[in-house]
């Protein structure tokens, strides 16, 4: 096994930072969007609100994992990234059905893409 080059290490850290930043932005957008959904609304509104809250929590937790110094298990990071990507895509789909939620849906998709990019750098 060879050690990573400086360029590979730099790219890894850059991808990790970009993913953590996308997670933070997505968490913020989802929390704001979830707070705008009427909690006494229809079942569909309740689903959107719950997905927004869950996405904010998952993205926030993922950001914390990526921001920790020290060595985390690569398998654990992969599982976290895949989970975050999945929740973000589901939330984006739910936000697509809500008028005025376009930017939150885009934030979710951007986060999912950042997670995918970082997963590719782990390969």
33 neighbors 102 (Cβ within 8 angstroms):
no
The model carries a pTM of 0.88
Cα dihedral 105→110→111→114 (10° resolution): 160
Each residue's pLDDT tens digit, 14-26: 888 999 999 999 9
Q: Residues 69-85: pLDDT tens digits?
A: 666 788 888 999 999 99
Q: What is the mean pLDDT of residues 88-93?
A: 97
| pLDDT band, very low/low/confident/very high, at 1 (cuts 50, 70, 90) | low
40 pLDDT higher than 90: no
Token readout for 55 is 């996405």
Average pLDDT over residues 105-110: 96
DSSP 111: H
């Amino acid at each position: 096994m060879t050690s990573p080059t400086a360029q590979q290490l730099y790219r890894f850290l850059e991808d990790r930072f970009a993913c953590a930043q996308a997670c933070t932005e997505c968490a913020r957008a989802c929390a704001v969007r979830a707070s705008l959904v009427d909690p006494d609304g229809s079942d569909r509104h309740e689903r959107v609100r719950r997905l927004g809250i869950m996405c904010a929590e998952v993205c926030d937790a993922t950001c914390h994992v990526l921001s920790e110094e020290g060595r985390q298990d690569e398998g654990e990071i992969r599982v976290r990234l895949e989970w975050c990507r999945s929740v973000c895509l589901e939330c984006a789909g739910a936000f697509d059905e809500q008028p005025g939620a376009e930017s939150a849906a885009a934030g979710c998709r951007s986060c999912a893409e950042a997670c995918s990019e970082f997963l590719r750098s782990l390969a």
